[in-house]
């Protein structure tokens, strides 16, 4: 079986695929726990254990056609150029009338997907607002990604938040940047904030650490598996999704359950979107 493969397909065909998964093993701006660079491979390996049939949707998402590229090589020591490389890869996919699916890696890579897809709205599922103007002297940080997306002209909503700074809160109030706190907002509230064509970015730390410990910046009080799935499924039913990603899985040696959870969530997202 090819090493770059999602889910565990014996063969894959680009021309017939509706979705193209791009693994990006990048975590150069991580500021707490590391190892997100190994997230893509862990997800791909775990995906080999997936059942292709999804009993909840009564469908097999794989039938929509999934092609997984080789890992996109980051530009060592240069986050901005890495984002540019991601953007270029996603633009080629969009030009071929396919949906790009980024697999991180740290959250900054999502900016390249947004730049390529040019959505009207972006939904970020994240424990953190990620709306700093800069962190440690750099605007090219995973902690700034939601703000950089907003500066691209998209309406940005961040849901599942349990950690936000005064600077980020002030920015959200002044700039119309939507923040939905974990367990304080309804699915309807979040869906209503999304207009037109939507890009979705899922940082796995939106989930509670009890079910997703394998992430660099875990926060208590997170969403459950069921809450995340209910929200994403509702968006898939009510909005047009043009691209999406799953980021910030930082595998823990010998702990496979979080890797499998991430793989299953990404697979279900193909089905929903």
**How confident is the model over 15-54, as pLDDT tens digits?**
999 999 999 999 866 656 678 999 999 999 999 999 999 9
Helix-helix angle 79-95:110-117, to 10 degrees: 40
Q: How high is the pLDDT of residue 30? A: 63
Place of tokens 């009564």: 58
Q: Tell me which residue range forms the domain holding 57.
A: 19-272
Place of tokens 């938040």: 161
145 assigned to some structural domain: yes
Residues 6+ apart with CB under 8 A from 231: 125, 159, 187, 190, 191
Answer yes or no: are the C-beta atoms of 100 and 113 closer than 8 Å. Answer: yes
14 assigned to some structural domain: no
8 assigned to some structural domain: no
1 assigned to some structural domain: no
10 assigned to some structural domain: no
The set of long-range contacts for 90-95, using a CB threshold of 8 Å and a minimum separation of 24, is 90/22, 90/115, 90/116, 90/117, 90/243, 91/116, 93/20, 93/22, 94/242, 94/243
Number of domains in the chain: 1
Q: How high is the pLDDT of residue 32? A: 63
Of residues 10, 28, 14, the one with CA closest to residue 100: 14
Task: For the chain, give the DSSP string.
Answer: --SS-SS--S---TTT-SEEEEEE---TT--SS--GGGHHHHHHHHGGG--SSBTTTTB-GGGG-EEEPPPPPP-TT-HHHHHHHHHHHHHHHHHTT-EEEEEESSGGGHHHHHHHH--SEEEEE-SB----S-BTTBSSSGGGHHHHHHHTT-EEEEEEE-B--HHHHHHHHHHT-EEEETTTS-HHHHHHT--SEEEEEEEGGGB-TTT---BSS--SS-B-HHHHHHHHHHHHHHSEEEEEEEE-B-PPTT--HHHHHHHHHHHHHHHH-
Of residues 34, 36, 89, the one with CA closest to residue 67: 89
180 assigned to some structural domain: yes
CATH code at position 258: 3.40.800.10
71 assigned to some structural domain: yes
7 assigned to some structural domain: no
pLDDT in tens, the chain (273 residues): 556 789 988 889 999 999 999 999 998 666 566 789 999 999 999 999 999 999 999 999 999 999 999 999 999 889 999 999 999 999 999 999 999 999 999 999 999 999 999 999 999 999 999 999 987 777 889 899 999 999 999 999 999 999 999 999 999 999 999 999 998 999 999 999 999 999 999 999 999 999 999 999 999 999 999 999 999 999 999 999 999 999 999 999 999 999 999 999 999 999 999
């Amino acid at each position: 079986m090819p090493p770059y493969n999602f889910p565990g397909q014996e063969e894959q065909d680009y021309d017939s695929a509706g979705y193209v998964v791009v693994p990006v093993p990048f975590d150069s701006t991580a500021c707490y726990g590391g190892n997100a660079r190994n997230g893509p491979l862990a997800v791909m390996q775990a995906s080999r254990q997936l059942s292709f049939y999804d009993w909840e949707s009564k469908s097999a998402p794989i039938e929509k056609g999934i092609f997984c590229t080789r890992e996109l090589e980051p530009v060592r020591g240069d986050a901005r150029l890495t984002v540019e490389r991601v953007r270029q890869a996603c633009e080629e996919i969009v030009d071929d009338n396919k949906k790009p699916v980024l697999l991180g890696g740290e959250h900054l890579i999502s900016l390249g997907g947004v730049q390529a897809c040019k959505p009207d709205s972006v939904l970020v599922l994240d424990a953190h607002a990620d709306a700093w103007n800069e962190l440690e002297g750099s605007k090219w940080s995973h902690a700034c990604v939601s703000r950089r997306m907003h500066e691209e002209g998209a309406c940005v909503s961040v849901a599942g938040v349990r950690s936000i700074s005064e600077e980020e809160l002030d920015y959200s109030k002044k700039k119309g940047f939507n923040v939905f706190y974990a367990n304080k907002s309804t699915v309807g509230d979040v869906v209503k904030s999304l207009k037109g064509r939507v890009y979705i970015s899922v940082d796995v730390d939106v989930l509670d650490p009890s079910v997703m410990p394998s992430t660099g910046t875990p926060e208590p009080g997170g969403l459950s598996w069921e809450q995340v799935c209910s929200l994403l499924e509702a968006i898939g039913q009510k909005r047009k999704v043009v691209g999406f990603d799953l980021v910030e899985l930082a595998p823990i040696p010998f702990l496979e359950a979080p890797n499998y959870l991430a793989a299953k969530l990404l697979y279900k997202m193909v089905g929903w979107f």
